[in-house]
A and B are shown apart, each in its own frame.
Chain A
Amino acid sequence: MSETTAAPQAPVSTQTRPLLEVRGLSVAYGAIEAIRDITFSVQAGQIVSLIGSNGAGKTTTLRTISGLLRPKAGEILFEGRPIHTQPAHAILGMGVAHCPEGRRLFPRMTVEENLLLGAYTRSDDGVAEDMERVYELFPVLGERRQNKAGLFSGGEQQMLAIGRAMMSRPRLLMLDEPSMGLSPIMTQRIFDTIRNLRDLGTTVLLVEQNALAALAQSDYGYVVDLGRTTLEGSGHELLADQRVRDAYLGES
């Protein structure tokens, strides 16, 4: 466990080159800086979470990684290649999928069409196969594949959103608040699914306000506050840290 500094090279661990590296990233909306000089990295095969309060800049970070926003400063490396200059639609093709906050399904399209859109950039034959895999993972989707996505419950919509993101066969899956608005049971199911995906080889970058649940599942975590990473460590270390407990786990 270490406290991150503002220095761009904050060696997190000495493993192999991380899958995703974010260095000194700053993003501004007009004159307002939403994130300043944020630095973190995601090792392949892990679940890494960014936790922090509202307005800390977590969503902005994910939107910048996926190319919806442009950074003011800093760089983002995916598999060693800079991606922060690429448009959003190209970044997906490189292997980064982003499951946005609030699911953002296409409500007037069917489950199947939503999944097909997830596989939009693919032209291989595996699409139908992958679609079946999503249906296996979430049978409720398979049963109602011709129904409009807007008619589903929150938990089912989250499943579909994850399934849709998986359809591009990403190497890095970014999930923004997957537990938002879900019942505890459903939240548990979603986190089980995320672990399952990690075990199948997908790296996961998770943004959560539900710090307890997120850290418990994560291999590594960062605390983001006022647009910076302030603490980092393995999920268990952070869970045990008094400052984290005070600030985010509602203990005092």
Chain B
Amino acid sequence: MKTAMARPLSAIGSVVLIIGALLPWATFVLNDGPYPDKATLEFFDAPFGLSSFRLYLEILGLAGIVFTFVPVRDKIRVLKSIGWGAAGISVVNLLFIAGDGGGLGAITAADGVPAFGSIVAVVGSAVLLFGAYQLPPEPLTVIDSKLPWWAEWLILLAAFVALLFLITETLTAGGHSGVSDPYIGPLFLSYLSAVGALLGVLHAFGVTEWISDMSERHRVFSIVVLVLCAVAVPFTSVGNDYWMTITANIGVYAATAIGLNIVVGLAGLLDLGYVAFMGIGAFVAANLSGAVAAEFHIQLPFIVAAIASGIVAGVFGAVVGSPTLRVRGDYLAIVTLAFGEIFVRVSQNNIGGLTGGSNAIPNIPDLSLFGAQFNDAPTIGGLQLPGGVLYYFLIVLLVALVMFVFGNLKNSRIGRAWIAIREDEDVARAMGVKTGKLKILAFMTGATLAGLAGAVFAHKLATASYDSFQFNQSVTLLAAVILGGMGTIPGAVLGAALLFVLPEELRQFKDYRLLFFGLALVVIMRFRPQGLIADRHRRAELADEDTTGESLDDTAIKEPVAVAAKEAGA
């Protein structure tokens, strides 16, 4: 009976959505931005537009109609993705217009000008979503076909190029090089919602899974292509100084987040002071760089300094990890938090003259290779590259290295032992896993990677200041890992990218950045604790809970297992 309502509802919703997209959206003209030609007002008030958010909504609406009537597998996920994407676009623009236009008048009717577009679109997407949720849930579609290797290579290549395109488009969705376009926020979020809907549909068709299986089969090829794609970024539309800096920053944090993912995602040890290891790496590198303010006036080659940073951070990691021998769970989290706080205090007070205190260690020399300064804009074969591109390449290398380490560890004996510890430490120990050593090893590995990232970070910024390594940074990194998906590489990269790109794109909401972080952590833990890109292993666990967890209350989920074990075993 419920299912019968699904088709008419989603069809009606889709049609309403398209109508909404074609109506005018704002009753007023806001043309006071510094770039009037870019901030065109038709964007909001003209009806029948075929660009930007209107275009996305029209496409989504059409897709909604098509998929309502064409038989596809997993229709519920397809329509849900379309619905949520459309809802995202509509709500973002509704809020923006209402907010900027001074209230409800802006999105209804004022001065004889009607503009109900946003409200109609919101209603349309709500109806579409409501219809979609009437459908019966289906297991995730699996495409199980293997092609000849060359065909799979081609598909992977195409997929990665498409990904590269999506990423560069995402970065520039709100305009290039960060000029202050007043519409950058809604433009970017609209684009992001549309991309999310697209990926959701692909996921429902099993395409994303299929491609990730393929890349698993051709790991080396994938990594090479991925690195090549990353190297190609400076030659695309984001190839300018501004984006090189941003992407380099994302890269540093992504590398650090992957390191944290080893500790939290694989070994299941919550580390709340992780950024301190990055700080240690940064200060070690700063002190060995020959900076005037540094304690040691020696200048080691960068590669030596970076290795030293990694080693020192790793030693601290082992020290901080050693309480894991005695302390578990949230107590361990507190130990790491306390360590992080100690680090901040100590470096703020310039202990031993090593950290520069509140003056930081400024003027860390720029890296150079064969005479090329890393911050300069090099010219290769007559092609002018953006400034900082060498740092960008260095960081791509760093991320690739960290991914390589993570990937190999995860699929090794050690990685499996970590996962066993995460799932149940006592059982792991009973099975002969040397839990103590392995937990310290997890801390050490994570810290070493963070130390390396810190060394690069210090040179890139030319400064090492305690202020960059505060508790909030640890929370942000943790949020990146959790948002992306614990225990997965793409998860950590995606998480880091989202958490460090979003503030750039949403600069007008910068003040609310941390507010949203906090809220996001709460909401993710509530509705999607496995993160955006879930680990297969974990997904299996969570799927299992989905089918039985519905009516069990309180202790009923943890307890029965114990009882069942007792009843079965005793």
A interface with B by C-beta (< 8 Å): 27-32, 34, 54-60, 63, 68-70, 72, 87-88
Contact = CB atoms under 8 A, between A and B. Distances in A.
B567 A55 contact: yes
A177 to B, nearest CB: 10
Nearest to A63: B563
A58 B567 CA distance: 9
Contacts of A28: 548
Contacts of B551: 70
B544 A29 contact: no
B179 interface: no
Contact of A70 (B553, B564, B568, B569): B553
Interface string B548-570: 10011111100111011011111
The interface residues of chain B, by DSSP majority, are classed as helix
A54 B567 contact: yes
Given A34-B567, A56-B567, A59-B567, A29 B553 contact: no
Given A68-B555, A70-B551, A70-B552, A34 B570 contact: no
A68 B563 CA distance: 11
The interface size bin for chain B is 20 to 34
A69 B567 contact: no
B561 to A, nearest CB: 6
A63 B566 CA distance: 14
Contacts of B569: 54-55
15 contacts: A27-B560, A28-B548, A29-B548, A29-B560, A30-B548, A31-B548, A34-B563, A34-B567, A55-B569, A55-B570, A59-B563, A60-B564, A68-B555, A68-B559, A69-B560
A34 B553 contact: no
B545 to A, nearest CB: 8
A30 B567 contact: no
Contacts of B559: 68-69
B558 to A, nearest CB: 10
Contacts of A87: 553
A71 B285 CA distance: 61
Contacts of B570: 54-55
Contacts of A56: 567
Given A60-B567, A70-B552, 14 more contacts: A28-B548, A29-B560, A30-B545, A30-B560, A30-B561, A31-B547, A54-B569, A54-B570, A55-B569, A56-B567, A57-B567, A59-B566, A68-B559, A69-B560
Contacts of A70: 551-553, 556
B561 A29 contact: yes
A87 B556 CA distance: 11
Interface of B: 544-545, 547-548, 551-556, 559-561, 563-564, 566-570
A224 to B, nearest CB: 11
A32 B553 CA distance: 17
Contacts, number: 53
A88 to B, nearest CB: 8
Contacts of A32: 564
A87 B551 CA distance: 11
A88 B551 CA distance: 14
A62 B148 CA distance: 58
A51 to B, nearest CB: 14
A31 B552 contact: no
Contacts of B555: 68
A58 B564 CA distance: 11
B538 to A, nearest CB: 15
Nearest to B544: A30
Contacts of B548: 28-31, 72
Contact of B568 (A27, A30, A55, A68): A55
B556 A68 contact: yes
Nearest to A87: B553
A28 B547 CA distance: 11
A56 B570 CA distance: 11
Contacts of B567: 34, 54-60
A193 B491 CA distance: 62
A31 B567 CA distance: 16
Nearest to A102: B566
A243 to B, nearest CB: 22
A88 B553 CA distance: 10
User: Which of B553, B554, B560 has the most CB atoms of chain A within a 10 A radius of its CB?
Assistant: B560
A182 to B, nearest CB: 17
Contacts of B563: 29, 34, 59-60, 63
A57 B564 CA distance: 8
